[in-house]
Amino acid sequence: MALNHTQLKALKPKDKPYKVTDRDGLYVEVLPSGVMTWRFQYYLHGKREKVTFGRYPDIGLADARKMRDDAAAQVAIGQSPAKDKQAKKAERLAEAARAETFRMLADRWIAAEIAGRSESWQYTVKNWLDLDIYPAIGDKDTRTITTKDIDAILTKVVARGAMNSAAKIRTICVKVFQFGMDNDALTDNPAAKTKPVKTPEAESHRALSVKEIRPFLEALDAVGALTINKLAIRLLMLTLTRKDELRLAKWSEFDLDGGVWGIPAHRMKMRNPHRVYLSRQALEILEQLKPLSRGSEFVFPNNSTISKPIGHTTLNNVIDRLDIDGARFVPHGFRATASSILNEANFRHDVIERQLAHKEPNRVRAVYNQAEYAHERREMLQWWADYIDTLKSGSNISPIEARIRG
């Protein structure tokens, strides 16, 4: 008895693969994963063969039967549908892979992946490709690239101590080659055969204590780093933004006269636009940054080219060079520092969370808590900047004392 649409939709996976016959050699195979695949079984020259048509529901019942009829017509004249399909696939592989460099394949992968990806993801991936991957294998035919070639790239990155970057670079290479295989351009993934890079254990974003802020700022002033990068760290501390929200900032996002920085939704972790009310100190830093950005659209352009922002690890590297006691501190830790101090100073929790652009865990509360709190946020960020200045001057005043006196 032939299959119908209702029966197909009702098929469920079992512990083992099983077949459900339609008619004239056509059947659908149901795998434990739930994948359903159309196949056609036939006899040619006394031998049994089968050919795969594709997955259901991508290929519907009517289309599968049409493909079965076409294949049966080949069998009738002594041709093998299975061997014909293999020959056509080999031809596609040869055509797709012919003279395609890794750079060309990576460009196709990025174009396919870019939908729904953040601007931060795009810049970071392209930066690793440009700096570490392309110089080594960018212009090589993808068919000639070996596991040793990928290992050489990873070894070079690991040698400079960038373990996390090495792990990400390996992942990018694996995904690019897998994309080539999925699209019939390649038959092998040399990157997947490399040994995974062992990265440092994830560290919590530890907060600087009140007593650590002055030594941190003094160490930052003294360290031998580019002024633009040191100012980026100061601005990150004042605005309470995430690192990638700051490093990808463009001058077009700032209303310096109104003292507001509007970050577009696609750059925010929660995909909602966000406003930062700029303190007097933040505005002063932005004025200092204007000539340092060298005419770039980015507030913090890359040192080698103004068409790109600073790298993903640039600010981390500057902070790593500071002489700070205790566990390692990373840029994201500024947010924890500020949250702790602002809460101690008795600023309203909702105002702090709104400025940090945190997601409200309570859905009902989130619906009723869309207020901007613009005045309170502006006042809070100015107090925060003034309090940092007070600490840097040598005062040991506590947050709550400073709030009362202010």
Is 269 catalytic? The answer is: yes
Instruction: Give the domains, in start order, of the chain with CATH numbers.
Output: 5-95 (3.30.160.390), 102-193 (1.10.150.130), 210-405 (1.10.443.10)
Is 123 catalytic? The answer is: no
Of 103, 269, 275, 308, the active-site residue reads: 269
Residue 190 has pLDDT above 90, yes or no: yes
Distance, C-alpha 292 to centroid of its chain: 28
Is 198 catalytic? The answer is: no
Is 205 catalytic? The answer is: no
Is 39 catalytic? The answer is: no
Q: What is the mean pLDDT of residues 310-314?
A: 86
DSSP bridge partners of 141: 101
pLDDT of 367 = 37
Decide: helix, strand or coil at residue 336: helix
Query: Bigger pLDDT: 122 or 44?
Result: 44
DSSP bridge partners of 30: 18, 36
- Which of the four pLDDT bands, split at 50, 70 and 90, describes residue 115? low
Omega before residue 57 within 30° of 0, cis: yes
Q: Which string of DSSP letters, residue by residue, matches 117-162?
A: --HHHHHHHHHHIIIIIHHHHTTSBGGG--HHHHHHHHHHHHHTT-
pLDDT tens digits, 345-403: 899 988 898 888 876 544 444 433 445 788 999 999 999 999 999 999 988 888 888 88
Is 19 catalytic? The answer is: no
Query: Bigger pLDDT: 306 or 373?
Result: 306
pLDDT tens digits, 225-270: 899 999 999 999 999 999 889 999 999 999 999 999 999 988 887 7
- Residue 102 and residue 179: Cα distance in Å, rounded? 11
Of 170, 267, 335, 377, the active-site residue reads: 335
Total residue length of the chain = 406
DSSP designation for 392: H
Of 48, 359, 368, 405, the active-site residue reads: 368
